[in-house]
Amino acid sequence: MATMLEGLRVVEISSFVAAPLGGMTLAQLGADVVRVDPVGGAADVRRWPLAPSGTSLLWTGMNKGKRSITVDFRSAEGRDVVTRLAADAGIVLTNAVGRPWLSYEALSEARPDLIHLQIEGRHDGSAAVDYTVNAEVGFPFVTGPPDHGAPVNHVLPAWDMACGLYAATGLLAAERRRSRTGEGARIRLPLHDVALAMAGNLGFLAEAQLGHDRERVGNYLFGGFGRDFALAGGRRVMVVALTTRHFADLCEITGLQETVAELERLLGADFGVDGDRYRHREALAALLAPWFAERTLEEVTEAFRGSAVLWAPYRRFTELDLEGDPLIGEIDQPGVGRLRAPASPLDTGTGDRAPVPAPRLGEHTDAVLADLGLDAADVAALRAKGAVA
């Protein structure tokens, strides 16, 4: 898998999550992704969380497998280096704003068939980030406990993640077209559009247009049956019955078939239908809760073994067992040390996926400049002028 995109080079000028994730996705598939930062690093170079050394665990996590070069964006010589890199690679991924010299119009003068993808806040060019976009689109008012009046923000930067994966997909689609037609592409990807598109794709927008204001349901699964349950000993599990078989197995294992059937008769409901399981979720949960409360996690694990019930215990990040997971490998990350880190989740069955550490900031400056045909004297001259670090 690490060679699927061998020969593809991407210049990435970015920070934070969406654009770096797009670049890393391509790097993990074998592309040569050259991350270009200003001297000293971009705004995310010290972004929390931090290792004891002060190294950003976010930065290292989002830049695995890339090469790194640092350039003085304020100098003509530094901007010329970036332009030459873009022309050589032919593909640019960026979320940098306020730099006309990084625009498609400017860079395509050096490479007419350039593929240029610009991540933006909104389509009108105004600024936005994941957390402000999430607030605008409506999700905080359907997140959280039913009796909670204020909006509840999310922790997972879902729109940044979707945006980064859209960016990787868009670049590959444009590169495929260029390979057939020779045409470049200017692609704009507003973060707000990503969130709005997904809200529409998931039915939230249509539901609102049809006059329904989605309710808060806490940890219940909307439109079906699923909820968290407390166990003996203080642990909690999430249980989900997406299908009739899931629900039937849950009732059988808990010994509630007859009780649930009688409840179904009294309510005039059909628990073989998702909607009825959802409408009567609180009654069903009240029947199930005592069974869980009387059992430990080990007992629940044994009871559900081999069944169709979908369930999982709640765990903290510190409780995750990464050893032996095929996604996880051990790397020696500069500035952090030895740690377990994920490779690409795309598994082609070849057994060759393994995580690659993120570079040190500017680690590959000399090598990248050499790829452009600059010799040691040229690099020394650029460094003497402060054009590269």
- Are residue 81 and residue 13 in the same domain, yes or no? yes
pLDDT higher than 60, residue 1: no
For 90-143, the pLDDT digits (tens) are 999 999 999 999 999 999 999 999 999 999 999 999 999 999 999 999 999 999
Same domain, 187 and 269: no
Query: Is residue 287 in a domain?
Result: yes
**DSSP state, 350?**
S
Boundary of a domain, candidates 279, 294, 313: 313
Domain that holds residue 194: 9-200+324-384
pLDDT at 351 over 80: no
Report yes or no on 224 lying in a domain. Answer: no
**185 assigned to some structural domain:** yes
pLDDT at residue 203, rounded to an integer: 98
Domain total in the chain: 2
Asked if 94 and 59 touch (Cβ cutoff 8 Å), the reply is no
Residue 217 confidence (pLDDT): 97
Q: Looking at residues 19-48, what average pLDDT do you find?
A: 97
pLDDT digits (tens, 9 = 90+) for 226-242: 999 999 999 999 999 99
Q: Report which of 241, 232, 353 is spatially closest to residue 298, judged by C-alpha positions.
A: 232
169 lies in the same domain as 278: no
Query: Which pLDDT band holds residue 348 (cuts at 50, 70, 90)?
Result: confident
Q: Look at residue 222 and tell me if it is in a domain.
A: no
Query: Does residue 114 come out as left (phi exceeding 0), alpha (psi in the -120 to 50 range) or beta?
Result: beta
Residue 1 lies in a domain: no
Exposure string (b/e) for 222-231, b if CB count within 10 Å is 16 or more? eebbbbebeb
What is the pLDDT averaged over residues 17-35? Answer: 97
Considering the candidates 32, 160, 193, 249, report the single residue annotated as catalytic.
160
Last residue of a domain, one of 313, 333, 360: 313
Q: Residues 187, 247: one domain?
A: no
At residue 2, the pLDDT reads: 61
16 and 157 belong to one structural domain: yes
378 assigned to active site: no
Same domain for 22 and 135, yes or no, is yes
365 phi-psi bin (left φ>0, alpha ψ -120 to 50, beta other): alpha
Question: Same domain for 145 and 101?
Answer: yes
Domain identity same for 27 and 129: yes
